[in-house]
Structure 1
Amino acid sequence: MKSYLSGNTGGSGGTTASIYHDFESGTEGWAGGTISGGPWSTTAWASKNTHSLQVDIPMASGSAHYMYKTGTFNVTGFNQLRATVHGSTWGGYGSGLGVKLYVKYGSNYAWKDSGWATIGANGTINLTLDLTGVDKTNIKEYGIQFIDASNSSGTASVYVDNVYLWN
């Protein structure tokens, strides 16, 4: 993982943040699963600066889609993984697109996630994953999982931006 910013965020707590992915210079090694296009760095939407990561997903009842980064990562010293997710204005979101931030860790690829949140067309959400109980020295993958609503249809684009660790 590369770090764009590391340091004190101010305030009395002395909390530090480390931004790992802002997609200003490309996909930064991220991939997509069960998608119809992408991923690519785009200026169509961004939560910070001018770029985000975009994939196109075929919306169908209960279908799962992923945007993720694989490798072996050591995030010792951080307690949370955070990301911002946005849905396009097009596509049949139905009753909403389920989203969650996740990590896979250890030799058995144990899974931990942020729990489900829902976005609709043009919706934005900030996700937070508590890393308590995760082997922070042996993370194998992290990313965003999307699950289509039962009444979804068509194709939509989803965007991820500002993926970072927090302690």
Structure 2
Amino acid sequence: MDKLDLILERINSIDTSLKAEIKSLDEKLTSKMTSMETHMTSMDQRMTSMETHMTSMDQRMTSMETHMTSMDQRMTSMETRMTSMDQRMTSMEARMTSTEDRITSMDRALRAEMKSLNDKVDHVAQMQKLTWEAVKDLDKEVIRHSDELRAIDSKVKAL
């Protein structure tokens, strides 16, 4: 029986050793599992934090896009107003050009009329001068005839 006892003792020793090994491995496994669960919880919290951050960033981006759309609409409105003002300025420039042309035409007509009036004034002055010369000639003729009539009258009285 000695052999059997030795085998039994050996089996018990291996069994005790295996149980101790299993217990040690189980504790290590439990420790690793706890560590992994802690790590997974930490990772889950980080992922939640990142998702929250991404949601916040998405909201900010949406807000910026809305603001940019509003700015774009305002710019389009301003461009439309500028185009309208440009058209109005072009219209005013055309009207001013037309007015300038009319003023130039009126100025030419007035200058022509002034020249015509000046020519008429010169003609009237020349006619007045000729009239005065004719009047002087007539005056001289009247004086000469008066002198002749007096001479005739003196001769008639003398007779």
> TM-score if structure 1 supplies the norm length?
0.09
Structure with more of its chain in strand, by fraction: 1
The structure with higher relative contact order (CA 8 Å, sep 6+) is 1
Q: Which has the larger radius of gyration?
A: 2
**Structure (1 or 2) with the greater helix fraction:** 2
TM-score, length basis structure 2: 0.10
